[in-house]
Chain A
Amino acid sequence: MNKIVNDFSITVGTKNGSGSSTANNTILRSIFKMGIPVSGKNLFPSNIQGLPTWYTIRVNKDGFIARKETSDIVIAINPDSFAKDLASVAPGGAFFYADDIRQPITRVDIAIYPMPIKAIVKADANIPADFRDLVGNMVYVGILAQMINIDMEAIRAALTFHFKGKQKPIDMNFNALKAGADWAAANLEKKDPFQLEKMNKTEGMIMADGNTAAAIGSVFGGIQFAAWYPITPASSLAEALNDYLPVLRKREDGKHTYAVIQAEDELAALGMAIGAGWSGLRSMTSTSGPGLSLMTEFAGLAYYAEVPVVVWDVQRIGPSTGLPTRTSQGDLTFTYTIGHGDSHSVILLPGDVYECFEFGWKSFDLAERLQTPVFVLSDLDMGMNQWISKPFQYPERPMDRGKVLWEKDLEELKGNWGRYLDKDGDAIPYRTIPGNKNPFSAYFTRGTGHDEYAKYTEDSDIYMKNMERLARKQQTAKQYVPAPVLHANKNATIGIIAYGSTENAIFEAQHQLETEHGIQSEFLRIRAVPFSKEVDAFIEKHDQIFVVEMNRDGQLQQILYIEYPQYAMKFKSVAYHDGLPAAAKWVREGILARYEKAGNGTQKKAAVKKTAAKAASKPKVKKAAVKKSAATSSPKGKSKSAVKSKRK
């Protein structure tokens, strides 16, 4: 039989609340430990116990680890989803099932493996009756491990990590797993082609979820205050703050340099965070779409009163309560002008777990520099699933606390300052902070009309002047926000613009477009709104630009229409909204459906050529390097050299 090595997908169908996540994470981590590029996506219902849930694993030696829409290996543990699970196996695939499920198996095009999980667990006298179901999950891991060759030492490492080194649960789970493996060795004949072999492609990498990474990044950003309200899929971000702050900010005197408050609702959560940001603390909240809706009024206040605060939105699919446990990029246009009246938001768009960490600390610098709310739009896939990542790196520059005047500054100014006075011409005023003892330090903050000295006014000219300044401040923001990442390709005939967690799917789609359809592409991953000039250059350069995103209406495309009306005809929306982590299939098919053969490059004017030439002079990352970065799911080698930081 042909062997297919390190290139397949596994889906486990279980019941929610059955404790299978330990088992599934063990598979994922073991494969990672074997040095093979891998991803794991939990596709779970909004339910605590009983409803079907799936865990899908993608193994790919070339690093294409976006979710695959077909399943080569399916493990069926849940009778309720058995028929669906059986039908989902790709032809030539393998089907493992718990043999106490008595349902008809009609397919002959796949390998079928019954698993006597209950019998194996029962045979182990060391497993207490209460633990049988839980540990039973390890039996299918053991059988799978035997059949596809998962390394036992890698498994032991994964269990040791999961149980934090506690020997008893490690042994109990490992023994059950081993019993499964032994049974399979003695009783199953290999009838499918799927095999794992060790590689060295994950060396030096870590595995983490984006919410944890965001929390850790925030801690390294000097977070002092967080207020939050529980909501899937954002809760684990705030919970991770509670986990890591006491470890990373431990002091000898046992006192705290921070406070985390679980608020009564999202309104109060952002209200508290704004209060703290106003009084000089590095302050944040974390939520998801429904919470962000509630925060809207406060977001407008922070924008207009110019209060620094960071708002993480771990996006799930809406509208309304939507599909609470499914991923989405559906909050972009909402955030773009959040609040009533005219407003512009500064938005960061992390593309992977590493950037969740990085934007964790950078968002505070930006919020305090710009004196405005900074929204970080993550999503459920990044936030809650374990991703391979390059290790977190210590912030490369000191904290930027922005323009703050303390007592001695005011003495020098002889009290001559105005809270909303644009002294430097960059539209960013100076602020003072409560606790400043200078008698000229105080001002009255309000969401009502105010003049340059923060005094109440309804004067039309003063109102307009202030609003014009706020618009200019958004222009200033362009030089501070993270530049996009360009995956350059000088033979490209089309451009792709995307953001967030779709990157792996796009890498794979690019590869398929090139190898199967002869279409070469260049990919710009946007990391912030407002758009910096690298985005201008990319849009000027390409005639056809596919805007790939996970929502119905093409929200980034809508924003591009607004920001680049002169290029509106270039944009082609590839928007998809199934609530599942991005897959190459819809990216590829979406691009092909709207692709126009080259030859209509009439827009290429001299100015555009100049930009293209300039772009071409930048160091390019070869295709291989892009593949490598895909393989490791990290920004390492992701054309970092082509991204010039715009910071001073």
Chain B
Amino acid sequence: MTETLPMAGAASNVNAVGLSKNDYRGAPSTLCQGCGHNSISNQIIAAMYEMSVMPEDVIKFSGIGCSSKSPTYFMNRSFGFNSLHGRMPSIATGALFGDARMKGIGVSGDGDSASIGMGQFKHAMRRNVNMVYIVENNGVYGLTKGQFSATAEKGLQLKKQGENPYMPVDICAEALISNATFVARSFAGNPKQVKEILKAAFAHKGIAVLDIISPCVTFNNQENAYHSYAWGKDHEEPLHEISYIAPRNEIMLEREMNEGEIREVSMHDGSVVILKNLEKGYDPTNRTLALQALEEARENNWLLTGLIYVNTSKPTLTDIYNLVDAPLNRLTQADLRPDRAMIDKVNALMF
């Protein structure tokens, strides 16, 4: 059965900073009903509430696309910057210098990050920008009505586009190879895992990439669609763990996955995604193993979920710059304009 979305949390409850869950909500979503992105927004609300984060300590970022609309739908009390297509990383990189105590939560999509924004995506990784970087990954361009994205698998069929002839980009592998310090993957229909990974990502200092498979209910609903492998089609029978979900309802896991478990999940069209939870005892601090695990998953057509890699020893971008303790954006002329005497010194430095 479908899990209840955490929309109606008990309003009387307050967290450690005295805020109710309502203080973390945003405007009503204008995305399609049943869109996985809404579930992710709700898990962000739940995670921030449960972690007792002050909304004023968070900056929301996004690029352009369906996913990038979603920061409007959570945490109204946080500043937000809905930027340009593929350019969320640069906006966030600059903005987080304003007050380095703040943490970014960025929501991007597979088009926004894996296509037009691939360059900025990878450079945000290598700079270790202090933000949670969520890619709501559905393999399709929703807002422009159904074109292939760069994460769509080879051979995918879409109504207007025909067959996708190209190999896909793996967000987690790209992040890892670009020296991201936190790489995880989850599935929008696994809200508990999404929330737990979100919490870990938010607690991480530096860039935390979350590739969250978030099925598009409207445009990626063709026969043989999104990560729908022939193998999966042939093996529909073992899908007893997943109840049938009527189209336009969100796809949710019936129960949590165990460590190492492989589970097939039906998409809206009845096609299948194969989730593979990381094995028990998997060491996410070993980068070589992480790369190996991703490669093994690729060979098996698994979508590896869980915390794939974490490195807590790398300084964040703002750490590297050895900034003053006060937020830069609170500094005044006394801090910023050199003394009058310095002008003579400068002139003396000229010929």
Contacts and interface: CB of A to CB of B under 8 A. Distances in A.
Interface in B89-103: 89-99, 101-102
Nearest to B98: A279
A597 interface: no
Nearest to B81: A445
A261 B71 contact: no
Nearest to A364: B336
A447 B94 contact: no
B338 A256 contact: no
B321 A268 contact: no
A225 B83 contact: no
A278 B325 CA distance: 20
Interface in B208-260: none
Nearest to B325: A255
A456 B69 CA distance: 10
B324 to A, nearest CB: 4
A443 to B, nearest CB: 7
A50 interface: no
Query: Which of B60, B82, B321, B350 has the most A CB atoms < 10 Å from its CB?
Result: B350
A282 B337 CA distance: 11
Nearest to A300: B84
B330 A435 contact: yes
Contacts of B77: 439, 442
A568 interface: no
Interface stretch (A134-142, A192-200, A243-251, A603-611): A243-251
B337 A158 contact: no
A297 B82 contact: no
Contacts of B83: 271, 301, 447
Given A279-B99, A394-B340, A444 B80 contact: yes
Contacts of B123: 263-264, 268
Interface string B66-90: 0000011000111111111001011
Contact of B335 (A225, A257, A441): A257
A297 B97 contact: no
Given A268-B120, A275-B81, A444-B71, A220 B337 contact: yes
A19 B41 CA distance: 60
Contacts of B329: 224, 279-281, 433-435
B6 interface: no
Contacts of B347: 206, 391-392
A264 B336 contact: no
A479 B336 CA distance: 26
Nearest to A407: B56
B324 A265 contact: no
Q: Which of B59, B327, B338 is packed against the most chain A CB atoms within 10 Å?
A: B338
Interface residues of B, number: 58
A444 B62 CA distance: 11
A244 B343 CA distance: 12
A439 B82 contact: no
A244 B346 CA distance: 9
Interface string B159-178: 00000000000000000000
A477 B273 CA distance: 57
A255 B351 contact: no
Contacts of A269: 90
A606 B69 CA distance: 59
B4 interface: no
B186 to A, nearest CB: 26
A161 B118 CA distance: 46
Contacts of B119: 264-265, 268
A16 to B, nearest CB: 23
A398 interface: yes
A298 interface: yes
A248 B337 CA distance: 9
Contact of A442 (B56, B99, B328): B56
Contact of A272 (B60, B78, B91): B91
Nearest to B23: A439
Interface in A83-141: none
A32 B351 contact: yes
Chain B interface, >50% SS class: mixed
Given A225-B97, A392-B347, A399-B337, A435 B82 contact: no
A200 B101 CA distance: 56
B331 A434 contact: no
A224 B84 contact: no
Contact of A276 (B55, B94, B323, B331): B94
B93 A272 contact: yes
Interface string A322-365: 00000000000000000000000000000000000000000000
A47 interface: no
Contact of B91 (A223, A275, A281): A275
B190 to A, nearest CB: 28
A394 B79 contact: no
B93 A275 contact: yes
Contact of A392 (B71, B337, B343): B343
Contact of B80 (A249, A442, A448): A442
Contact of A282 (B59, B120, B336): B336
B56 A399 contact: no
B94 A256 contact: no
A257 B81 contact: no
A271 B102 contact: no
Contacts of B323: 255-257, 259
A254 interface: yes
A273 interface: yes
A276 B338 contact: no
Contacts of A441: 56, 79
Contacts of A641: none
Interface string A273-301: 11111111111000000000000011001
Contacts of A224: 97, 328-329, 331, 336
B342 interface: yes
Nearest to A260: B321
A446 interface: yes
Interface in A456-482: 456
A270 B90 CA distance: 8
Contacts of B346: 216, 244, 248, 392
A254 to B, nearest CB: 7
B94 A273 contact: yes
Given A444-B80, A444-B82, A448-B82, A268 B102 contact: no
B327 A435 contact: yes
B333 A399 contact: yes
Contacts of A222: 333, 336-337
Q: 7 tightest CB-CB pairs across the interface, nearest first?
A: A279-B98, A275-B94, A271-B90, A280-B329, A222-B336, A435-B99, A275-B95
Interface of A: 29, 32, 158, 161, 206-208, 212, 216, 219-225, 227, 244, 247-249, 251, 253-259, 261, 263-265, 267-283, 297-298, 301, 386, 389, 391-395, 398-399, 432-439, 441-448, 455-456
Given A279-B98, A395-B337, 9 more contacts: A248-B342, A271-B91, A275-B81, A275-B95, A279-B329, A283-B94, A298-B87, A399-B333, A447-B82
27 contacts: A161-B351, A220-B343, A224-B331, A253-B324, A254-B322, A255-B325, A259-B321, A269-B90, A271-B84, A275-B96, A278-B98, A279-B329, A281-B98, A281-B328, A297-B84, A298-B84, A389-B350, A391-B343, A391-B350, A399-B337, A435-B101, A441-B56, A442-B77, A444-B82, A445-B79, A447-B82, A456-B72
